[in-house]
Amino acid sequence: MRTISVGVFKIATRGPGDVSGLMSLIGSGAIDPTSILAILGKTEGNGGVNDFTREYAVAALCAALAPKLGLTPHEVEQRIAFVMSGGTEGVLSPHITVFTRQEAAARPAGISGKRLSIGMAQTRDFLPEELGRSAQIAETAKAVKAAMADAGIADAADVHFVQIKCPLLTSDRVEAAAARGNKTATISAYSSMAYSRGASALGVAVALGEVASDISDDIMLRRYDLFSKVASTSSGIELMHNVVIVLGNSASSVSEFEIGHAVMSDAIDSAAVMSALKSVGLDVDLGTTPQPGRELVNIFAKAEASPNGSVRGFRHTMLEDTDISSTRHARAAVGGLIAGLAGTSSVYVSGGAEHQGPAGGGPVAVIARLTD
């Protein structure tokens, strides 16, 4: 069994095109650009169909990394998994998290137990009529299993977060399907984001045995009792396939990091956030100092407005606001809750949690560095 070392670097950004922090770490030797496997980021766009800050951020990163890797920007995008989540409402702070992976020598005597590992895989390109349907679920499930193998993770219980970037529909894509005599799951570009996120999440659930594999198209966005406890999916206009990143703990890793997770039952579930922090030894209470030997690196969470229109019996208006989309409301609310508990606003909160945790809730994962 190969032994790997995984690095995690959280870098603040001054805008979606700011690559100075990453370039500084590469220049100092802290990051070997050839070891970069994935970059997850929060950008200050609207998080919707026309959020071009995501594409801008990826283009800037690819252009900056290309000469360091001896590749073209397009080749960089094929080599590294980029997942940009738009929307930093409320106190959320724009940033990127860079994940590196290198082959390592045999496990040192001082390192025991399972440590953070990361794996990546991609699906084939989807036809527009396949988005939000069983084909996307099945192909995603295959890619999740491939990413687990890439990470050296055999047990589904060791998977704590699966980040997926998935496609959405545009009017051109809907028209292309119609020209072939096929109907898409929806003709709305905005609604297609939810369909694609939901199918991708159910693909994770199938791969990890959280739900049965025989899922029919008609349960999508209806059977919210079917979900994954570790899936985080984000839709974008810039691709037609799914990019899958699996984060978990593995005995093959000698990383100085660990990851754990919990599941928020609703948007104000502070107990779940605290549970996720404690799962990696961060026994923090309302921003107080964590126990010695542990340091918070980042928190990754999903957020959505409860589809039944209430939170713990009280009506919310997020779904009825025609000025601000419900996903923006949810990101701000959950982002504020997590920031207050963790003592930092530089956290990754993504909106739209269809089939990602229970309806109105969502998974929350924490990465900690073991400083001792």
27 known member of a binding site: no
**Together in a domain, 99 and 122:** no
**Together in a domain, 89 and 151:** no
**Together in a domain, 221 and 287:** no
279 known member of a binding site: no
Does 193 map to a domain? yes
Does 41 map to a domain? yes
The CATH number linked to 79 is: 3.30.1330.170
* Mean pLDDT of the region 94-102: 98
Q: How confident is the model at residue 183 (pLDDT cuts 50, 70, 90)?
A: very high
197 known member of a binding site: yes
Residue count of the chain, please give it: 372
**Together in a domain, 92 and 184:** no
Rounded Cα–Cα distance for residues 181 and 183 (Å): 7
Does 260 map to a domain? yes
Q: How confident is the model at residue 290 (pLDDT cuts 50, 70, 90)?
A: low
The CATH number linked to 365 is: 3.30.1330.160
End residue of a domain, out of 58, 79, 105: 105
Domain count, the chain: 3
**Together in a domain, 56 and 163:** no
Each residue's pLDDT tens digit, 105-126: 776 666 668 999 999 999 999 9
**Together in a domain, 126 and 227:** yes
pLDDT score for 293: 84
Does 354 map to a domain? yes
- Provide the 8-state DSSP code for 288: P
Supply the angle between the helices 326-342 and 270-278 in degrees, to the nearest 10: 50
pLDDT above 70 (res 263): yes
Report the candidate in 364, 229, 343, 248 with the shortest Cα–Cα distance to residue 296: 343
358 known member of a binding site: yes
Report the candidate in 260, 280, 370, 255 with the shortest Cα–Cα distance to residue 3: 255
**Together in a domain, 243 and 264:** no
Does 206 map to a domain? yes
Rounded Cα–Cα distance for residues 208 and 165 (Å): 18
For the chain, helix (H) and strand (E) counts, in that order, are 8, 14
Domain range for 317: 256-370
pLDDT above 80 (res 253): yes
User: DSSP assignment of 26-94, as one string?
Assistant: HHHTSS-GGGEEEEEEEESS-SSTT-THHHHHHHHHHHHHHHHHTS-HHHHHHHSEEEEEE---TT---
pLDDT score for 239: 87
Sheet of 36-43, strands arranged across: 4-12, 95-103, 36-43, 81-86
Each residue's pLDDT tens digit, 308-334: 999 999 999 999 999 999 999 999 999
**Together in a domain, 283 and 192:** no
pLDDT score for 284: 65
* Mean pLDDT of the region 263-273: 97
Rounded Cα–Cα distance for residues 89 and 335 (Å): 8
361 known member of a binding site: yes
What is the percentage of the chain residues whose pLDDT exceeds 90? 87
Give the count of beta carbons closer than 10 Å to the beta carbon of residue 27: 10
Alpha helices for 157-269 (secondary structure H): 171-179, 189-207
- Provide the 8-state DSSP code for 118: E
**Together in a domain, 234 and 287:** no
The CATH number linked to 204 is: 3.30.1330.180
* Mean pLDDT of the region 123-150: 97
Report the candidate in 188, 145, 155, 193 with the shortest Cα–Cα distance to residue 48: 193
Does 111 map to a domain? no
pLDDT score for 104: 86
Does 203 map to a domain? yes
Catalytically active residues, by annotation: 165, 234
Each residue's pLDDT tens digit, 20-78: 999 999 999 999 999 999 999 999 999 888 889 999 999 999 999 999 999 999 999 99
pLDDT score for 110: 63
> Mean pLDDT in the chain?
94
Rounded Cα–Cα distance for residues 244 and 83 (Å): 9
356 known member of a binding site: yes
End residue of a domain, out of 247, 281, 303: 247
pLDDT score for 188: 95
Amino acid at 135: A
pLDDT score for 108: 64
Does 272 map to a domain? yes
Q: How confident is the model at residue 237 (pLDDT cuts 50, 70, 90)?
A: confident
pLDDT score for 264: 98
Distances (CA, A) of 272 to 164, 183, 250, 322, 341: 22, 40, 23, 30, 11
pLDDT score for 255: 95
**Together in a domain, 152 and 237:** yes
End residue of a domain, out of 54, 85, 105: 105
pLDDT score for 236: 84
Rounded Cα–Cα distance for residues 295 and 72 (Å): 36
**Together in a domain, 36 and 122:** no
What is the percentage of the chain residues whose pLDDT exceeds 70? 95
Rounded Cα–Cα distance for residues 276 and 337 (Å): 14
**Together in a domain, 236 and 313:** no
pLDDT above 60 (res 286): no
